[in-house]
């Protein structure tokens, strides 16, 4: 039986009878949820009507991640674009799911001269129940629809590309009606413990020469996931290219004893000042404890060295103090691979 696969645009990457293992070829997909992995997926038609456009091009196909009943994800390529008609409900509202599927992957491919086994794949519209508050079709309903299309729905790979909500008065599909089901990187597959991050604090007061700049002696590590901070040098060495959040706080005791005095903290990169904290003007009160702080995001390269320094224009001041007074932390927000391109 021929499945509904207009233009044979839905294809699976490998199938028994061809070359390679379906499971091995799709191990990378297990880090994501099912749905559209790349491409535009579903868009409104180029003319105002009840049709939508599904898919990409031969040179730049859409890729969707479909799931087996076990939850294992399989990538399907959509190498062309097809017009698909959406039917409005007679009453109330309804959600239509655009579904790409591949038949039971245990079956041998019948496509001997075409890559992607399009004869084993399909592209259908599955409608949810009509209601004033409609819901999308369930997985069970989608698998039943796949079976009605001629495949073995209970064993098929199914991928909802998008959900389209219409009502009885709908005569034209608009962008607002189309909700793409994006395949996302799943949080439980991200090992946050391996992301570079640390926090360090001071434990004592150190003398701060007037007019000079001194490295803040952060000597107690709260946490350090990758060993990027050296408490003997009080410096952090960046372990990988990326965008980092840097947060620094330094306390300066009795700084600003005179009204003309100023105190500040600075973040240094590779021996040069990267960011300066707010300069605090003296209060005239010898008991004043000044805390200069700053948090910012910055693009850093592997092996950049980051440190925090303090400055006060008056002599006989101290800096650092107990852990609650001075703190230095960094964390990777995202890797950045274009630094050396």
For the segment 2-35, what is each residue's pLDDT rounded down to a tens digit? 788 888 878 766 555 555 567 878 888 888 899 9
Residue 55: HSE in the Cβ half-sphere, 13 Å Cα cutoff: 23
For the segment 71-113, what is each residue's pLDDT rounded down to a tens digit? 999 999 999 899 999 999 999 999 999 999 999 988 887 777 7
Strand ranges for 128-171 from DSSP E: 157-167
Average pLDDT of the chain? 88
102 with 77: CB under 8 angstroms? no
Tokens 């409005």, residue?
A: 88
For the segment 158-196, what is each residue's pLDDT rounded down to a tens digit? 999 999 999 999 999 999 999 999 998 776 666 666 789
**Predicted confidence (pLDDT) at residue 255 exceeds the cutoff of 90:** no
Write down the pTM of the prediction: 0.59
Q: Which residues of 206-242 are buried (b: 16+ CB within 10 A; e: fewer)?
A: eebeeeeeeebbbeeeeebbeebbbeeebbbbbbbbb
**CA–CA dist 239, 241 (Å, integer):** 7
For the record, the structure tokens of 184 come out as 């996302």
For the segment 101-152, what is each residue's pLDDT rounded down to a tens digit? 999 988 887 777 777 788 999 999 999 999 999 999 999 999 999 999 999 9
Query: Where is mean pLDDT largest: 115-124, 191-200, 202-211, 248-257?
Result: 115-124
DSSP collapsed to 3 states, 2-68: CCCCHHHCEEECCCCCCCCCHHHHCHHHHHECCEEEECCCEEECCCCCCEEEEECCCCCCEEEEEEC
Q: What is the pLDDT of residue 340?
A: 46
**CA–CA dist 83, 53 (Å, integer):** 5
For the record, the structure tokens of 134 come out as 């409609």
**CA–CA dist 46, 178 (Å, integer):** 14
**Measuring CA to CA, which residue among 120, 142, 112, 104 is closest to residue 19?**
112
How far is the CA of 42 from the CAs of 78, 104, 271, 275, in angstroms?
Answer: 11, 25, 52, 46
């Amino acid at each position: 039986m021929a499945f509904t696969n207009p233009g044979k645009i839905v294809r699976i990457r490998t199938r028994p009878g061809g070359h390679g293992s379906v499971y091995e070829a799709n191990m990378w997909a297990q880090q994501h949820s099912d749905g559209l992995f790349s491409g535009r997926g579903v868009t409104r038609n180029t003319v105002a009507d009840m049709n939508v456009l599904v898919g990409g091009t031969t040179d730049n196909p859409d890729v969707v991640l479909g799931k087996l009943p076990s939850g294992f994800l399989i990538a399907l390529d959509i190498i062309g674009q097809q017009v698909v008609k959406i039917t409005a409900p007679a009453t109330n509202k309804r959600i239509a799911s655009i579904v790409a599927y591949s038949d039971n992957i245990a079956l041998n491919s019948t496509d001997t001269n075409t890559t992607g086994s399009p004869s084993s794949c399909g592209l259908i519209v599955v409608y949810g129940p009509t209601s004033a508050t409609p819901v999308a079709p369930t997985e069970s309903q989608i698998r039943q629809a796949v079976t009605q299309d001629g495949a073995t729905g209970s064993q098929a790979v199914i991928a909802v590309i998008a959900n389209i909500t219409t009502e009885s008065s709908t005569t034209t599909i608009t962008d607002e009606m189309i909700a793409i089901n994006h395949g996302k990187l799943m949080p439980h597959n991200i090992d946050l413990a391996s992301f570079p991050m640390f926090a360090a604090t001071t434990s004592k007061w150190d003398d701060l020469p007037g007019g000079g700049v001194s490295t803040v002696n952060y000597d107690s590590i709260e946490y350090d996931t990758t060993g990027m901070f050296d408490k003997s040098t009080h410096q952090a060495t960046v372990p990988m290219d990326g965008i980092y959040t840097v947060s620094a706080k330094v306390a300066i005791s009795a700084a600003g004893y005179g009204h003309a005095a100023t105190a500040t903290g600075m973040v240094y990169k590779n021996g040069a000042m990267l960011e300066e904290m707010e300069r605090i003007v003296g209060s005239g009160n010898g008991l004043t404890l000044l805390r200069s702080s700053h948090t910012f995001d910055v693009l850093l390269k592997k092996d950049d060295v980051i440190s925090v320094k303090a400055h006060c224009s008056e002599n006989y001041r101290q800096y650092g103090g107990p852990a609650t007074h001075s703190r230095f932390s960094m964390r990777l927000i995202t890797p950045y691979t274009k630094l050396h391109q």
